[in-house]
Structure 1
Amino acid sequence: MFYTCPSCGAINRIPDDQHNQQGQCGKCKSALFNATPVALNDTGFQRFLAKNDLPVLVDFWAEWCGPCKMMGPIFKELCAEQQHQLRFAKVNTEQAQMVSQQFGIRSIPTLILFRQGKEVDRLAGALPAPQLRQWIAAALQK
């Protein structure tokens, strides 16, 4: 399976039978799984989506958004729990305006689940952890 390093963006291959282990980037030696969502911007967004074999859940947010601030710790908690089933990423809509516009982000927080670079499902608004887990499980089945 292929994973994009959250630190340097290098593409790493991990054998299928070892993908539940931590893994280390072959280029920068950083952990491939560090229980923290990856911050993406306009330049690295498409590469991160296209070069990960796991589905990618992206949180579109902004610093000034109250519901986004409430959702942040929940998103990080789920990242720690499910980091080997899907990749978690965050896009600050104020800084990554091209990506936000490309995906028609009109309200925040907006979560989009991508598989092989294509949008699978979308959710607008903040949810508590149990409901977010349910939404993720249902979206992964699509």
Structure 2
Amino acid sequence: MSTTRQIVCGHCGRINRLPVERAPEGARCGACHQPIFTGHPIEVNEATFGRHVAGSDIPVLVDVWAPWCGPCRAMAPMFERAAQALEPGVRLLKLNSDSAPALSSRLNISGIPTLLLMRGGREIARHSGAMDTRGIVAWTEANLTR
């Protein structure tokens, strides 16, 4: 078993190796010295999405949304609060489908908001439609235990 886990910095995109036995809450990036976890989702584009999904040893929860989508805007503060509850065990990302149409197509996004739960670079669960904070956290935890 590995003695470190890789986690991508949300500020500079650098991959950090953290000892498994060290609590990740206070960890700082070795490159930019910013906190690795802030309790807030990270806005990603096509390039940074791939880096987070492929470069992180922790699960990634992605909110695929668009600025014109009413349910997406309503769910945004719920997703923000879910980050506070789920980090540092899960990295939360926000992907604007309008800014990344090719990636949204590759991910087979047919409706928004859509939550994608990914681990080891692959999708393990998907949910379309808005949820409240409690629902997001419960859905994520239930799918991580499968």
TM-score, normalising length from structure 1?
0.95
Name stretches of at least 5 consecutive residues in structure 2 with no aligned partner: none
- Separation (CA, whole Å) in 1 of partners of 2:31 and 2:91: 19
The residue type equivalent to 1:94 in the other structure is D
User: Is 2:43 aligned against 1:36?
Assistant: no
User: Is 2:67 aligned against 1:63?
Assistant: yes
1:55-78 per-residue CA deviation (whole Å, 9 max, x = no partner) reads: 000000001111001111111101
**How far 1:131 moved relative to its partner?**
2.2
1:69-118 per-residue CA deviation (whole Å, 9 max, x = no partner) reads: 11111111010111111000000001011210110111100000000110
Could you say what secondary structure the match of 1:99 adopts?
A: helix
**How far 1:25 moved relative to its partner?**
0.7
**How far 1:30 moved relative to its partner?**
1.2
Pairwise CA RMSD of aligned residues? 1.0
- Separation (CA, whole Å) in 2 of partners of 1:15 and 1:63: 38
Q: Which residue of 1 aligns with 2:130?
A: 126
Q: State the identity %.
A: 37
Could you say what secondary structure the match of 2:118 adopts?
A: strand
- Separation (CA, whole Å) in 2 of partners of 1:105 and 1:32: 28
Number of equivalent positions: 142
Q: Which residue of 2 aligns with 1:3?
A: 7
Q: Which residue of 1 aligns with 2:82?
A: 78
Q: Which residue of 1 aligns with 2:97?
A: 93
**How far 1:47 moved relative to its partner?**
1.4
Runs of 4+ in structure 1 off by over 6 angstroms are: none
The residue type equivalent to 2:113 in the other structure is P
Name stretches of at least 5 consecutive residues in structure 1 with no aligned partner: none
Whether the aligned pair in 2 keeps the contact of 1:42 and 1:97 (CA below 8 Å) is no
